[in-house]
Amino acid sequence: MRWTWFHRLASPPYLYGLAARLTPWFAWPAALLILGGLYAGLVLAPPDYQQGEGFRIIYVHVPSAWMSLMVYVIMGVAAAVGLIWRMKVAHAVAASCAPIGASFTVAALVTGSLWGKPMWGTWWEWDPRLTSELILLFLYLGFMGLRAGFDDTQRADRAGALLAIVGLVNVPIIHYSVIWWNSLHQAPSVMRFGKPAMPPAMLTPLLVLLLGFTLFFAAVLLVRVRAEILQRERAARWIGETLRT
């Protein structure tokens, strides 16, 4: 097994340059997929036989909820890599993930609430799925707050990483909450074993949006990681050289 790619990624100047080059390759496909997916979800997908047009909230709710979980997993794994291999850029990735993940957790909670009112008759319920998603938001905010409490970046990295790793326990709880407990929230209809429980005309826009949001995350993360690297490497000589070119 050759690990040279891993070592190269761990080099701040290399990662900085790579992030700058890769950003447009994620950003433009993301923009096209999100715009196309939203159009398809709002206009092309047929109304649901039970929820009528109301089900169209799925096209913003599910991608937001997916982001809230995926970003947390990436944050937790990056934090673990940073802690175990003392890799500075991994901590930079984890720190960059938090505000993105937190914002999409808010979107998932708000769109879920807006969906819950007409379908369940309530904006909020202390239900396992809803409560565990709210805890996810507090984990993101706690991670950001804890980091901000340290002046020393290394100590902020280590303390934040521990919290992020412990918080990973919440991810399977959110995913399986609707199966383990009696929940108002419906069971998974896309991310489950076997066939998704949706017809292709409804499912396709959703898959397009899931991919679009994921690429969007990659693009935003790359921009944020560059900012993090610049701050962390402020004493390094390569920065002055990079800026002059």
The yes or no reply on residue 230 touching other proteins (CB under 8 A) is yes
Tokens of 85: 């291999």
- Contacts with 21 (C-beta within 8 Å, 6 or more apart), sequence order: none
- The count of residues interacting with other proteins (CB under 8 A) is 40
> What is the rounded CA–CA span in Å between residue 79 and residue 156?
11
Site string for other proteins, 6-45 (x = CB under 8 A): ----------------------------x---x---xx--
- With vertex at residue 105, the alpha carbon angle to CA 208 and CA 101, rounded to the nearest 5 degrees, is 80
The yes or no reply on residue 53 touching other proteins (CB under 8 A) is yes
Nearer residue to other proteins within complex by CB, 111 or 132: 111
The yes or no reply on residue 97 touching other proteins (CB under 8 A) is no
Mapped onto helix, strand or coil, the DSSP state of residue 14 is: helix
Question: Which positions from 105 through 144 interact with other proteins, judged by CB under 8 A?
Answer: 106-107, 110-111, 114-115, 117-118
Q: At what angle do helices 58-85 and 128-148 cross, to 10 degrees?
A: 40
Helix (H) or strand (E) holding 138: helix 128-148
Nearer residue to other proteins within complex by CB, 121 or 194: 121
Interface residue with other proteins among 10, 15, 26, 61 (CB under 8 A) is 61
Interface residue with other proteins among 13, 17, 36, 99 (CB under 8 A) is 99
The yes or no reply on residue 47 touching other proteins (CB under 8 A) is yes
Q: Which of 212, 227, 223 is nearest to 28 (CA)?
A: 212
The yes or no reply on residue 145 touching other proteins (CB under 8 A) is no
Annotate 159-196 with b (16+ C-beta within 10 A) or e (fewer).
Answer: bbbebbbebbebbebbeebbeeeebebeeeeeeeeeee
The yes or no reply on residue 234 touching other proteins (CB under 8 A) is yes
Nearer residue to other proteins within complex by CB, 61 or 129: 61
The yes or no reply on residue 52 touching other proteins (CB under 8 A) is yes
> What is the rounded CA–CA span in Å between residue 196 and residue 4?
39
> What is the rounded CA–CA span in Å between residue 89 and residue 78?
9
Nearer residue to other proteins within complex by CB, 110 or 159: 110
- Contacting positions for other proteins (CB under 8 A): 34, 38, 42-43, 47, 52-54, 56-57, 60-61, 63-64, 99-100, 103-104, 106-107, 110-111, 114-115, 117-118, 216, 220, 223-224, 226-228, 230-231, 234, 239-240, 243-244
